[in-house]
Amino acid sequence: MKKFMNDAGSLAVDSQEGFVAAHDDLVAFGQGRKHVRRKVFTPGKVAVIAGGGAGHEPMHIGFIGKGMLDAACTGHVFTSPTPDQILSAIQEADNGAGVLLIVKNYDGDVMNFEMAAEMAASTGSHRIETLIVNDDIAIERTARGTGRRGVAGTLVVEKIVGAAAEAGRDLAALKAIGEAAIAATRTMGVALKGATVPQTTRETFVLGDDEMEVGVGIHGEPGRSREKIADAATITAMICSQILDDLAPVRDQRILLFVNGLGGTPPSELYVMFGLARRFFEERGLVVSRRLVGTYATSLDMAGISITVTLLDDALTVLWDAPVATAALHW
Amino acid sequence: MKKFMNDAGSLAVDSQEGFVAAHDDLVAFGQGRKHVRRKVFTPGKVAVIAGGGAGHEPMHIGFIGKGMLDAACTGHVFTSPTPDQILSAIQEADNGAGVLLIVKNYDGDVMNFEMAAEMAASTGSHRIETLIVNDDIAIERTARGTGRRGVAGTLVVEKIVGAAAEAGRDLAALKAIGEAAIAATRTMGVALKGATVPQTTRETFVLGDDEMEVGVGIHGEPGRSREKIADAATITAMICSQILDDLAPVRDQRILLFVNGLGGTPPSELYVMFGLARRFFEERGLVVSRRLVGTYATSLDMAGISITVTLLDDALTVLWDAPVATAALHW
C-alpha cells in the first residue's frame, strides 16, 4: 500500500484538517472538532446536514457552503460518524427552522443518524426530518436487507435540497423536494482496481489484470459481478442501459448526466466516459440538459467511475442551477 | 494496463471530445477541431493561448474561459501539438490586439510554438509574444540542455496573465506580468506510481513497493532520484524546504500554496499534503494568503502530487483573485 499519509490511523483526521486549512474562508470546525460547518450560517433557514465515513472526499465536507450543506460529519474511514458527532452538528446548525438530515443508505449511517435524530428530538427543541438516499441500482430493490445503497447521487440530492433550503423553503417542503430528487436519481459504478483501506493495507477486493468489478459501492465492498475488462463504450452502454431500464424515462426527457471518478481515475478517462454516456442517452431520445464531470464521491484510491442520471423537471432544474459556493461545487 | 478508453490511439481525441461535450456552454472546437476555444471571444483583448500534450487534463483545455485562456491546443499523449494546430488557434483567437502564447518548457512544445509564432508573424498580421514557464525545481538551473521544465505552476501563470488580459492590458504588459509570475513560481513533485502510456501499455518507470520517485515531471520521465517511501510529513518537508531554498522569500512574505494531484491520487491524500505544507510554511514565517488544492495538471494516471508556491505581491494577488469562469477553475 502506498499513500500520502502520516499514519493509517490519522489519515481521516489529517485529511479533514487539511481540508479546513485549505477552505477556511468557507468552513470551520464545529465545537470539539466533531463536525465541519459553514463559517457563517444563514439565519432563519432550515439546516441541511449530511455525513458518512471518511474516504469519500470531497463528499460531504466539500459540499458545505451557501446553496448546499450547513454542516457535515465525518467518521473514520468507511465508518459512520457517531450519534454524538451528528448531534453536535444538529445543535450548532439548527437556528429554529428545523434540520434536514441527508443520509446514504448504509446500515451504520442510517442507525447513527436515526439515533442522533432521536436524541435531538427528545430534548424537544429540534424538529428533524431525514432523507435516505438509495440511488445505486447495482443492488436489487427487492433484495432482502436494507435495499439500495446511497452513492454519488447523494451529491445531486444535497445540491437540490440545499438550493431549496437557501431559497427559504420550510422543512416539510424540503423533505418532499428531497424525496422527488431521490426518486428521479440512479447511479451505477465500475472499478478497475479496488480501494486500499489504510488500516488493513490491503485492497478490499483484488482484480486480475483483465478483470473489472461491476456494480461497486463506495465502501470497498465487492460489486455485483466480476467480469472481463471491456472498452469504454461497452462499459458505458452496460451502465447506461441499466439506468435507463430502471428509470424508464419518456422520450425527450431532460436529464442531468453526472460522471464521477472514484478516486484513482484521472480526468482524461472521466471525459472519455462522459462523451460516450452523453451520446448513448442522446441517441435514445433523451436530452442531456445538465452535466457534471469530476471526482466528487470517492472510495479512497479506487480506480473506477460511476454514472448518475437524474430526471429533470422545471423545478429540479431551477434548484440544480441555483448558485452554489462550496469547496467542490461552485457556480 | 487498465484504463477507461476505447482504444490506445483514440484516448486523447475521445477525451477532448468528451470534455467539449461536457462544457459546451463554455467552449467549442475551433475550425477542423485543431484546437478548443472559448465559445464567445471578448472583442479587443489580447488572445491568451496555451497548449501541450494530452494526458495533463484538465490542463490546458479546462482553463479556457473568461478570465483565463482564449484557446488551447492539445497534441497526442505527452506530445506537443503541431505548429499547424497552434497556428489555427492564433488565427481564430487573434482579433487584432495580439496573441500571448504560454508554453511549458519542453523541447517539443517550445519548438512547435516557436514555429507557429514565426508562421503567424510572417504573414504580417499577428503580433505575438511568448512566455516559457519553467517552474520545476527538480531540474537544476545550471544544467546543460533546456533548463527547468514547466509543470503545475503553468496554471498560476495562465490564471494571472488571463486575468490581466481580461482587464484589457496590452501585449507588452501581459508579457511583463507573465514574466513576473514565472519568476515568483516554483514547483516540485513526487510519485508513488508511474504513469501508464496507453500506446506502450507500460508504466514509464516502475517503482518497488517501498519506493517513491522524487522530482517527477508530467511526461512520465523518471524523476531526479528514487528513494525509500516516506510518510507525508517527510515528503512535504523535503519538497517545501527545496522550494524555500530556491525562492528565498523574506519573512512575512505572502504566498499562494497550490497542492496538485497528478491523476491517480485521491482528494483525501491531497488534503493531507495541503495541511502539512501550509503548516510547514507558516512555521517558517510565511503567510499562506491564497490556496488551491485539486487535480489540475496531471500525468495520466500517475499516483503523485506536486506542490507549487508563488510569491504574491498586491498586483499578483489582485489578478489571482479576479473572477474566472472555466471548466476547472471557477470563482
Which percentage of chain B shows pLDDT scores above 70? 99
CA pair distance B122, A115, nearest whole angstrom: 74
CB contact under 8 A, B263 and A263: no
Mean pLDDT score of chain B, rounded to an integer? Answer: 96
> In terms of Cα–Cα distance, which of B165, B170, B135, B166 is closest to B59?
B135
User: CATH topology for A185-320?
Assistant: Hypothetical Protein Tm841; Chain: A;domain 3 (3.30.1180)
pLDDT given for residue B285 in this prediction: 97
- The answer to whether A271 and B19 have CB atoms below 8 angstroms apart is yes
Minimum-distance CB partner of B15 among A235, A271, A295 = A271
Vertex A76 angle, CA A72 and A81, to 5°: 45
CB contact under 8 A, A232 and B14: yes
DSSP state of A255: E
- The answer to whether B69 and B49 have CB atoms below 8 angstroms apart is yes
Mean pLDDT score of chain A, rounded to an integer? Answer: 96
Q: What phi, psi does A14 have (nearest 5°)?
A: -65, -40
- The answer to whether B307 and B262 have CB atoms below 8 angstroms apart is no
User: Which residues 81-120 of B are in CB contact (within 8 Å) with A?
Assistant: none
pLDDT for B142 beyond 90: no
User: Which residues 210-269 of B are in CB contact (within 8 Å) with A?
Assistant: 212, 229, 231-233, 235, 259, 263-269
Grid cell digits, residue A40: 457563517
pLDDT, tens only, A239-265: 999 999 999 999 999 999 999 999 999
Distance of CA B185 to the CA centre of its chain: 12
- The answer to whether B28 and B66 have CB atoms below 8 angstroms apart is no
Question: How far apart are the CA of A35 and the nearest CA of chain B, in angstroms?
Answer: 16
Q: What's the pLDDT band for B143 if we cut at 50, 70, 90?
A: low
- The answer to whether A312 and A49 have CB atoms below 8 angstroms apart is no
> In terms of Cα–Cα distance, which of A74, A150, A139 is closest to A107?
A150
pLDDT for B145 beyond 80: no
Segment among A312-316, B23-27, B167-171, B203-207 with least mean pLDDT = B203-207
**CATH number for the domain formed by residue range(s) B10-183:** 3.40.50.10440
pLDDT given for residue B39 in this prediction: 97
pLDDT for B269 beyond 90: yes
Could you say which of A56, A60, A76, A126 is catalytic?
Answer: A56
Question: How far apart are the CA of B171 and the nearest CA of chain A, in angstroms?
Answer: 30
Complex-level ipTM: 0.97
What residues does CATH 3.40.50.10440 cover in chain B? 10-183
Minimum-distance CB partner of B271 among A19, A269, A274 = A19
What residues does CATH 3.30.1180.20 cover in chain A? 185-320
Q: What's the pLDDT band for B123 if we cut at 50, 70, 90?
A: confident
Q: What's the pLDDT band for B201 if we cut at 50, 70, 90?
A: confident
List all residues 6 or more positions away from A189 whose beta carbon is below 8 Å from its beta carbon: A136, A138, A151, A152, A215, A216, A217, A218, A223, A239, A260, A262, A304, A305, A306, A307
Note whether A3 contacts B: Cβ–Cβ < 8 A.
yes
Q: What's the pLDDT band for A144 if we cut at 50, 70, 90?
A: low
What number of other Cβ atoms are within 10 A of residue B241's Cβ? 12
- The answer to whether A291 and A278 have CB atoms below 8 angstroms apart is yes
Q: How far is CA A80 from CA A85, A89, A295, B189, in A?
A: 10, 14, 21, 34
* Adjacency order of strands within the sheet including B99-104: B27-29, B36-38, B71-77, B47-54, B99-104, B128-133
Q: What's the pLDDT band for B144 if we cut at 50, 70, 90?
A: low
Cis peptide before B60 (omega within 30 of 0): yes
Q: Residues B99-128, buried b or exposed e (16+ Cβ, 10 A)?
A: bbbbbbbbebbbebbbebbebbeeeeebbb
Q: How far is CA A236 from CA A277, A282, A306, in A?
A: 6, 13, 10
The mean pLDDT of B3-27, rounded to a whole number, is: 97
Active site residue A56: yes
- Amino acid at site B178: G
Q: What phi, psi does B123 have (nearest 5°)?
A: -75, -15
pLDDT, tens only, B295-315: 999 999 999 999 999 999 999
Q: How far is CA A120 from CA A101, A210, B69, B106, in A?
A: 12, 50, 50, 60
pLDDT, tens only, B49-65: 999 999 999 999 999 99
- The answer to whether B82 and B112 have CB atoms below 8 angstroms apart is yes
- The answer to whether B311 and B253 have CB atoms below 8 angstroms apart is yes
Query: Which residues in chain A are contacts of B4 at CB distance < 8 A?
Result: 192, 232, 235, 265, 269-270, 272-273, 305
Q: Which comes out higher in pLDDT, residue B147 or A254?
A: A254
pLDDT for A26 beyond 80: yes
List all residues 6 or more positions away from B85 whose beta carbon is below 8 Å from its beta carbon: B34, B35, B51, B73, B75, B116
DSSP state of B199: T
Q: What phi, psi does B192 have (nearest 5°)?
A: -100, -15
* Adjacency order of strands within the sheet including A287-294: A225-228, A211-214, A185-193, A303-312, A254-261, A287-294
User: A22 burial class (0-12, 13-18, 19+ CB within 10 angstroms)?
Assistant: buried
CA pair distance B78, B107, nearest whole angstrom: 12
The mean pLDDT of A196-207, rounded to a whole number, is: 90
The position carrying cell 470497498 is A220
Question: How far apart are the CA of B216 and the nearest CA of chain A, in angstroms?
Answer: 15
Residues of B that are catalytic: 56, 219
pLDDT, tens only, A44-99: 999 999 999 999 999 999 999 999 999 999 999 999 999 999 999 999 999 999 99
Note whether A286 contacts B: Cβ–Cβ < 8 A.
no
pLDDT given for residue B222 in this prediction: 87
**Interface size between A and B, measured as CB pairs under 8 A:** 194
List all residues 6 or more positions away from A115 whose beta carbon is below 8 Å from its beta carbon: A83
Q: What's the pLDDT band for B324 if we cut at 50, 70, 90?
A: very high
- The answer to whether B106 and B135 have CB atoms below 8 angstroms apart is no
Q: How far is CA B327 from CA A57, A210, A234, A330, in A?
A: 20, 33, 27, 11
